[in-house]
Structure 1
Amino acid sequence: MANSKKLSSCRKIPPQIYLWVAISIFGASSAVTRKLTEIGAQHFIGTHNPISLCNVLFVGNLCALFVLVIIYRRQLNLFNLKRLSRMEWFSLISVAIMAGAIAPGLIFQALALTGVNNVVLVGRLEPPLVLALSVWLLRERVNLWEIIGAIVAFIGVMLTIFLEPTELTTIPIRMSEIGIGELLAATGAIILAISTIIAKKSLSNVPLGIYNVVRTALGTAIFFLTALVLYGSDHFTDVLSPFLWQWMLAYGVLIVVIGQSFWLKGLRYLPVSTVSLVSSFTPIAGIFSAYLILGEVPTQAQYIGGSAILIGIFLSQVGIQHQVAYSRNRLTCVQTDQGIKNKTGFRGI
């Protein structure tokens, strides 16, 4: 009886809560990652930083995978695996490659080349892209306010990219210069947006445990093999360092396991428009975390771009509130009409 009450109370947790917790974790993840690499720089092993960005991604995911297998061990059986269709397996592998290996690798490389705030703000390309793809591919209905909000947020991201003063790591493009770090962050955001749509469209019926474990395991393996080809085996020289593993165990549990699990929990039960809106608050959490953890003060370009993003978020929120109010009024009208029909016995022609 006690277990059933506990289960019932867990089900009553609004899915929005899961999304907000996940977004708070994701917002802080870039600052936490940069801080960890700074801690590693103070504890060199020979001439190497044991907490390099590649080691953070690889070992952090291994720690997360170990915890995920323990948590979801009951779901990881041959019967559940055989129930997945070929399309689900194809989608699962695609999402694992994109969201578990390629996008994190690009974003981590961006963190090595530009400021955390830039990576956070440029990453806001993802919500407008998710919204656009959901309308195009998932046929979700959005109103004019949401469209305008997404466009304004997109403009804010572009302002952050083009107004940010860059120095060495730049690619000349006509009259402007785009930093390589910002370009990598933008590419990572695009890939994450595509993976979100695939997950929403094709993986809603895949057990959460199987999704998390396969995504983490396959993403980690692909990233490791790619890094070996690009950088060589020496790149992971300090991968067995106890100092690295003690930090990565905490990182993997908090950022990967809790963050991803809560994100998927909310993603499954909410429309893409709501997911897009909530995820738009990531830059606020990211900039706040960068200031608290790293002391990184926003630049003028980040203030301008961030302000535009906030305006876009506000406009999108207005649109969602209008949509919710319209749905409620329509439901009330239908219920009233149904009540009249029940009383009079009238069923129409």
Structure 2
Amino acid sequence: MNRIPGQAYLWLAVVIFGASSAVTRKLTEIGAHQFRGEQNPISLCNVLFVGNLCALLVLLIIYRRQWHRATLRQLSQQQWLGLILVAILAGALAPGLIFQALSLTPVTNVVLVGRLEPPLTLALSFWLLRERVNAWQVLGAIAAFLGVALTIVLQPVREPMIQMAGFQIGGGELLAALGAIALAIASILGKQWLSKVPLGIFSIVRTGLGTLIFFGVALVLYGPRHFMGAFSPFLWQWMLLYGVIIVVVGQSFWIVGTRASSVSTASIVGSCVPIAGILAAYLILGEVPIQAQYIGGIVILLGLCLGQIGIQRQIDPKAAMGSMRSVPTEQAIAAKMGFKGI
């Protein structure tokens, strides 16, 4: 394993994470064809729930040394409150919204609209945390926001559509945007309150508590029957593909890659996840980008490039060469990557 460069693991993780949304949609389509007229066990809720359980298992194995009573007792009430809020926003609310968006709109739209997260995070960081930003970052954020707006506004009319501020917005696009907003707020909370929390504890609490909250909310909204297919052999047959490859292998490759690479490298490679997502939607689902997606995607890609230039100019050279060990750094890189299947 030591002979393989850290960047190779990062790129493999990017390919896997990029394919997650397309694979999720494909699995639900397989289940719908298999169980016509019956409850589809490969529902988006079941995929999210079981996938998160797989992710939690991986995180517990990797970060087991950080998860002990002495470390947990050192966390303050404010840090625990921050962990709970981040778990609600990033571990339960955002994934639920994004998975629901996948059922209403093409995967490419979800990927592109999800790019709303980085400019929102940058704006909130400047406004609430008084973080310094340079002109490149501002231009990148404006371009990314404009690209998302063009993707939404130029979409052809289809159901369900929602009237907002004089524009017709697709229901799926709106849910993806709300998911991005939830992730941006979670990033700000992580920067403000959780900078000294060990990354392993942060990841485990976010995933574990987020899964429990999502499960509880879904039970209240949809009833116990909604998860009746969660233990279906047909579901677990396909979840071996999703859970093992998308979650376990993807997460493991990413963690190994970040430990063997610099923050700067991880940031650059991670920003390619949306591109991989669009390619996966085409290869797996046959989604050919429409004009709105081409226009919005090109502008968003320009924003990513400008923002990356700004980050490289602003980042401390010593920090850039170090590995990803802190919660704010992990969240900053995750914001560039977008949705990763969990």
TM-score (normalised: structure 1): 0.79
Kept in 1, the 8 Å contact 2:79–2:197? The answer is yes
Shift of 1:270: 4.5
**Number of aligned positions between the proteins:** 315
Shift of 1:190: 0.7
- List runs of 5+ in structure 2 lacking aligned partners: 319-342
Give the alignment of 1:10-21 within 5 angstroms.
13=6
1:66 and 2:57 matched: yes
1:309 and 2:300 matched: yes
- List runs of 5+ in structure 1 lacking aligned partners: 1-5, 329-349
Equivalent-residue separation in structure 1 for 2:191 and 2:157 (angstroms): 37
Q: What whole-Å deviation, never above 9, does each CA across 1:300-340 have from its counterpart, x for those lacking one?
A: 1000100111122232234345547x979xxxxxxxxxxxx
Equivalent-residue separation in structure 2 for 1:302 and 1:263 (angstroms): 31
Q: Structure 1 residues 89 and 259 mapped into 2: Cα distance closer, same or farther (>3 Å)?
A: farther
Give the alignment of 1:152-301 within 5 angstroms.
152-173=143-164, 175-257=166-248, 259=250, 262=254, 270=263, 275=267, 280-301=271-292
Kept in 2, the 8 Å contact 1:67–1:253? The answer is no
Give the alignment of 1:80-95 within 5 angstroms.
80-95=71-86
**Which of 20, 26, 38 matches 2:29?**
38
Shift of 1:42: 3.3
Equivalent-residue separation in structure 2 for 1:257 and 1:93 (angstroms): 24
Kept in 1, the 8 Å contact 2:153–2:168? The answer is yes
Give the structure 1 partner of residue 91 of structure 2. Answer: 100
Kept in 2, the 8 Å contact 1:63–1:252? The answer is yes
Q: Which amino acid aligns with 1:31?
A: A
Q: Percent identity?
A: 64
Q: Which amino acid aligns with 2:237?
A: Q
Equivalent-residue separation in structure 1 for 2:103 and 2:116 (angstroms): 20
Equivalent-residue separation in structure 1 for 2:120 and 2:297 (angstroms): 17
Q: Structure 1 residues 322 and 200 mapped into 2: Cα distance closer, same or farther (>3 Å)?
A: closer
Q: Which amino acid aligns with 2:144?
A: A
Q: Which amino acid aligns with 1:42?
A: H
Kept in 2, the 8 Å contact 1:145–1:316? The answer is yes
Q: Which amino acid aligns with 1:200?
A: K
Aligned to 2:231, the other structure's residue is in SS state coil
Give the structure 2 partner of residue 79 of structure 1. Answer: 70
Bigger Cα displacement from structure 2, 161-170 vs 205-214? 205-214
Shift of 1:263: 7.2
* Superposed CA RMSD: 3.2
1:111 and 2:102 matched: yes
Equivalent-residue separation in structure 2 for 1:18 and 1:154 (angstroms): 30
Shift of 1:264: 11
Q: What whole-Å deviation, never above 9, does each CA across 1:50-70 have from its counterpart, x for those lacking one?
A: 111010011111222233333
Q: Which amino acid aligns with 1:198?
A: L
Aligned to 2:103, the other structure's residue is in SS state helix
Shift of 1:171: 0.9
Q: Structure 1 residues 256 and 133 mapped into 2: Cα distance closer, same or farther (>3 Å)?
A: farther
Q: Which amino acid aligns with 2:221?
A: L
Equivalent-residue separation in structure 2 for 1:143 and 1:32 (angstroms): 37
Aligned to 2:214, the other structure's residue is in SS state helix
Equivalent-residue separation in structure 2 for 1:64 and 1:318 (angstroms): 32
Equivalent-residue separation in structure 2 for 1:20 and 1:127 (angstroms): 21
Q: Structure 1 residues 92 and 50 mapped into 2: Cα distance closer, same or farther (>3 Å)?
A: same
Give the structure 2 partner of residue 132 of structure 1. Answer: 123
Kept in 1, the 8 Å contact 2:67–2:201? The answer is yes
Q: What whole-Å deviation, never above 9, does each CA across 1:264-317 have from its counterpart, x for those lacking one?
A: 9959x848xx95x76553321111110111111101100010011112223223
Equivalent-residue separation in structure 2 for 1:284 and 1:327 (angstroms): 27
Aligned to 1:142, the other structure's residue is in SS state coil
Shift of 1:236: 1.1
TM-score (normalised: structure 2): 0.81
Q: Which amino acid aligns with 1:190?
A: I
Aligned to 1:65, the other structure's residue is in SS state helix
Equivalent-residue separation in structure 1 for 2:16 and 2:192 (angstroms): 25
1:147 and 2:138 matched: yes
Q: What whole-Å deviation, never above 9, does each CA across 1:175-230 have from its counterpart, x for those lacking one?
A: 42101110000000011111123223433332333222221211111111111111
Q: Structure 1 residues 327 and 101 mapped into 2: Cα distance closer, same or farther (>3 Å)?
A: closer
Larger Rg: 1
